[in-house]
Amino acid sequence: MLISTKGIVFRSVKYSETSFITDIYTETKGLQHFIISGVRKAKSTTGASLFQPGSLVDIVAYYRDDKKMHRIKEARSAYPFREIPFSIHKTAVSVFISELCSKTVQESEPNSVVFQFLWDSYVYLDSTQESIANIPVSFMSKLATYLGFAPQIPKGEALFFDLREGVFCASPQEMEWAKDGPIIPLLKSFFKTNINEAHTIVCQRSERTEILNTLTKYYSFHIQGFKKLNTPDIYGAIF
């Protein structure tokens, strides 16, 4: 059948001299794998840039429930970015978000709440004039909430973050899997603060790096097969 849906491009790889295979998180079908033919031909009406990671697209595709790969019939930009392609800082953050999504958002079922969160995050990154240095940390924190493993944050004092149990606490079950130190109040703030307010959190470069490393380890406890991200090194070199 023919479907029409909004989508977020997570990943694209060359399939042949003129084609792409692309992973797109769609509004109506969740994460799906598509092939688009002829996109790299000189006379193609659909540019390859449309399928860069992070692109927000409208697609019309041939879809069958019993197939793992589907074919795109038509595609166009649903939200042409004004700043991300022309800013090395925003490009770095966009690549970070896309890589994280490609390794964590795997459901082939629609989830309108997750989809809207991802869509709004890219739009905010493109449009904001506030500092974006905290966005990767904020996004990684909030994504855990949308994926169902946000940590518990008690009202009382919590000097530790128990990564395995997923809770801020005064006394962790095992110190081996716990994190403490000055980043704990910051980490709690990121979990409680929306992305469009992330710039209000005062956070140093070294603290952001430590928080990203902590969140990466936290993800590895709660997402089976979660692999180390490549982009934090690039992001850290820019900010």
Please state, in angstroms and as integers, the Cα–Cα distance from residue 237 to each residue in 86, 89, 204, 233, following that order: 18, 10, 14, 6
Per-residue confidence band for 26, with pLDDT thresholds at 50, 70 and 90: very high
Tens of pLDDT, residues 192-205: 999 999 999 999 99
Count the domains in the chain: 2
Are residues 103 and 136 part of one domain? yes
Are residues 183 and 94 part of one domain? yes
> Last residue of some domain: 30, 57, 77?
77
Question: What is the extent of the structural domain holding 161?
Answer: 84-238
> Last residue of some domain: 18, 45, 77?
77
Sign of CA dihedral 202, 205, 211, 212: positive
Tens of pLDDT, residues 128-170: 999 999 999 999 999 999 999 999 998 878 889 999 999 999 8
> Last residue of some domain: 77, 109, 132?
77
Cβ atoms 212, 183 nearer than 8 A: no
Are residues 73 and 94 part of one domain? no
Spell out the alpha helix ranges (H) of 39-182: 88-104, 112-127, 135-146
208 SS3 class = helix
Are residues 131 and 29 part of one domain? no
Cβ atoms 58, 104 nearer than 8 A: no
Are residues 132 and 38 part of one domain? no
Q: What's the confidence (pLDDT) of residue 141?
A: 97
Are residues 98 and 31 part of one domain? no
Q: Which of 53, 201, 48 is closest to 122 using CA atoms?
A: 53
Are residues 160 and 230 part of one domain? yes
Q: DSSP class of residue 152?
A: B
Q: What's this model's pTM, rounded to 2 decimal places?
A: 0.92
Q: Report, as an integer, the average pLDDT of 179-192.
A: 94
Q: What's the confidence (pLDDT) of residue 148?
A: 93
Sign of CA dihedral 121, 125, 127, 128: positive
